[in-house]
């Protein structure tokens, strides 16, 4: 299968349709999930794979092999997955094709630091290929804590499991050269890792060095599931396929851009991770900066992974660094205190299990960024994300400038709102454009009007696949469009590292951090920015 065909199939999936993507066209493969007894596997990965199976978008021959420390055989592993679905999926819809789907699921006990266990895994994979007539194509999904990424990556290489289409001899993390093509019949091996990609720039570089000791850059798929959401994918389509938007997408017509991703949930059971990460590492280094890059990037020469990644990297390079002595003017940090969510009293962050009583870890951040290039010079970008806020929502706001001169009477000026384009990502995936129109009645009577495009309301256009299903398919297809590239990871850390170092110093951290009640729009100092969105 050529790379061009892979991209074409991905476009069809992005439209929420598998009409043109037929699983029969895909090469047989084995998906190996490390951390198979964990929550992510049962809650996200297995349902995603079952839905792909249900829509005939998996290859005709495939294997799913779970690996973990728990001692189980194949049947017990299948039973544990079925028990989880029974408990957590409403209704019985998952059952009707479960037996057929589960017949392709297997299990291999594995201690992550034991080389002989990886050799046993290799033996099982070879056995499955012989018995089930599958090609030795491997996708290794690391559904494990990030601290295990280097260990598993190294062990896979030493066991000879990293070899495949791209050679598996390691490289320095540079993008693949243009025109590199794999023979259609050559087996492949790929590794999938979830964010966070390191804790800071140095650890991200160290992780990359270890992974590239076994895998080449084109074999590594760094997941950011935000990128697989329909509306996020549609940002590029909206901008570059419509002549009415792109000519206005610059500093001459746009007043500011806002990106907000808020959650009603607290840290829940993730306090151990969150205490070492905070909102800047958890959300800004990945999700928020990716949304920024898609919104601000220049048009790629072609709608292909390498070209799109190149343009996103240019945005990261153009981010204007924060002056350390002006940090408070461009950054607001917060930590949620006790409050009320949906009529229920909830504890503050300091009262959550596993959180240090004197913790200064931020659970909210509002950041004002500038992109120092020709298109965006002087246009502020507001990035806001926090936990225990009033609502769970994610959206991108493009606020256009007011008309340069109004011919209407002065008393109408207060009601004449500037045009606004809103890209809703959650809870509704939609696009809204606000503009002014005359209402029936007197000569000068204006009213704001909204033009909506809603994915779910459009007949027959409800997305078939969720984010995890999209990234799993793209990994099988070998398409990096929805994934991070290492140079982008490092540039994102390079921008955030000075901010993190300043915020995590005792004096600056305490000075910047404000408490906000759970269920509120965030710290008082950030309210004016939140209200813009």
- The count of residues in the chain is 533
Would you say 175 and 309 are in contact if contact means Cβ atoms under 8 Å apart? yes
Beta bridge partners of 428: none
Q: Catalytic annotation on 480?
A: no
Question: 3-state secondary structure string, 293-313?
Answer: HHHHCCCCCCCCHHHHHHHHH
Helix axes 289-296, 486-503, angle to 10 degrees: 120
Q: State in Å, rounded, how far the first CA of the chain is from the last one.
A: 44
Catalytic residue among 212, 225, 287, 480: 287
Sign (positive/negative) of CA torsion 472, 473, 476, 478? negative
Sort residue 335 into left (φ over 0), alpha (ψ -120 to 50) or beta.
Answer: beta
CA quadruple 303, 19, 186, 137: dihedral, nearest 10: 110
Contacts of 522 (CB under 8 A, 6+ apart): 262, 332, 334, 364, 366, 384, 386, 389, 516, 530
Peptide bond into 427 cis (omega under 30): yes
The dihedrals phi and psi of 205, each to the nearest 5 degrees, come to -65, -40
Can you tell me the distance from the alpha carbon of 361 to that of 352, in angstroms, rounded to the nearest whole number? Answer: 12
Question: How far apart (Å, rounded) are the C-alpha atoms in residues 212 and 301?
Answer: 28
| CA–CA gap between residue 456 and residue 426 (Å, rounded) | 12
- Provide the β-strand partners of residue 370: 380
Distance, CA of 49 to CA of 488 (rounded, Å): 28
Alpha-carbon span 52 to 27, nearest angstrom: 15
What single-letter DSSP state applies at residue 444?
S
CB 18 within 8 A of CB 57: yes
From CA 310, how far away is CA 298, in angstroms rounded? Answer: 10
Q: Which residues of 223-246 are buried (b: 16+ CB within 10 A; e: fewer)?
A: bbbbbbbbbbbbbbebbbeeeeee
Interatomic CA distance for residues 261 and 268, integer angstroms = 18
Nearest to 233 by CA among 439, 471, 43: 471
Query: Residue 367 and residue 331: Cα distance in Å, rounded?
Result: 5
Token digits of residue 401 = 């400038």
Q: Which residues are catalytic?
A: 287
């Amino acid at each position: 299968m050529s790379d061009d065909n892979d991209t074409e199939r991905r476009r069809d999936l992005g439209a929420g349709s598998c009409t043109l993507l037929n699983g029969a066209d895909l090469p047989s493969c084995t998906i190996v999930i490390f951390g198979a007894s964990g929550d992510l596997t049962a809650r996200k990965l297995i349902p995603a794979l079952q839905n792909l199976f249900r829509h005939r978008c998996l290859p005709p021959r495939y294997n799913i092999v779970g690996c973990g420390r728990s001692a189980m055989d194949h049947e017990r592993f299948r039973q544990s997955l079925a028990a989880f679905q029974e408990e957590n999926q409403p209704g019985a819809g998952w059952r009707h094709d479960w037996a057929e789907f589960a017949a392709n699921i297997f299990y291999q006990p594995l201690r992550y630091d034991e080389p002989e266990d990886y050799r046993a895994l290799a033996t099982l994979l070879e056995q499955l290929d012989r018995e089930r007539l599958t090609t030795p194509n491997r996708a290794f999904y690391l559904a494990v804590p990030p601290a295990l990424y280097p260990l598993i990556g190294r062990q896979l290489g030493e066991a000879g499991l990293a070899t495949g289409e791209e050679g598996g001899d390691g490289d320095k993390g540079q993008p693949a050269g243009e025109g590199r093509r794999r023979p259609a019949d050559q087996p492949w091996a790929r590794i999938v890792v979830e964010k966070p990609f390191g804790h800071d720039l140095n650890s991200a570089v160290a992780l990359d060095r270890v992974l590239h000791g076994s895998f080449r850059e084109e074999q590594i798929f760094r997941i950011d599931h935000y990128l697989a959401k329909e509306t996020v994918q549609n940002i590029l389509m909206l901008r570059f396929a419509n002549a009415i938007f792109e000519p206005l997408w610059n500093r001459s017509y746009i007043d500011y851009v806002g990106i907000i991703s808020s959650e009603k949930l607290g840290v829940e059971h993730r306090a151990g991770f969150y205490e070492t990460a905070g909102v800047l590492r958890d959300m800004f280094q990945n999700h928020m900066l990716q949304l920024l890059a898609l919104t601000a990037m220049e048009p790629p020469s072609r709608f292909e992974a390498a070209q799109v990644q190149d343009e996103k990297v240019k945005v990261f390079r153009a981010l204007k660094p924060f002056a350390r002595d002006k940090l408070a003017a461009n950054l607001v940090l917060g930590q949620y205190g006790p409050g009320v969510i949906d009529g229920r009293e909830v504890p503050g962050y300091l009262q959550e299990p596993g959180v240090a009583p004197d913790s200064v870890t931020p659970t909210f951040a509002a950041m004002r960024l500038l992109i120092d290039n020709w298109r965006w010079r002087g246009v502020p970008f507001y990035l806001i994300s926090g936990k225990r806020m009033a609502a769970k929502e994610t959206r991108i706001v493009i606020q256009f400038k007011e008309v340069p001169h109004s011919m209407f009477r002065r008393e109408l000026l207060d009601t004449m709102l500037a045009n606004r384009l809103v890209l809703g990502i959650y809870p509704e995936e939609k696009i809204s454009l606000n503009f002014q129109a005359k209402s029936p009645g007197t000569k000068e009577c204006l009213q704001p009007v909204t033009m909506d495009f809603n994915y779910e309301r459009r007949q027959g256009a409800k997305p078939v696949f969720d984010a995890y299903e999209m990234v799993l398919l793209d990994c099988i297809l070998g398409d990096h469009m929805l994934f991070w590239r290492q140079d982008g990871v490092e540039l994102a850390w390079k921008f955030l590292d000075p901010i993190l170092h300043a915020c995590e110093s005792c004096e600056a951290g305490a000075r910047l951090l404000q408490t906000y009640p759970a269920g509120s729009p965030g710290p008082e100092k950030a309210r004016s920015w939140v209200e813009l969105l």
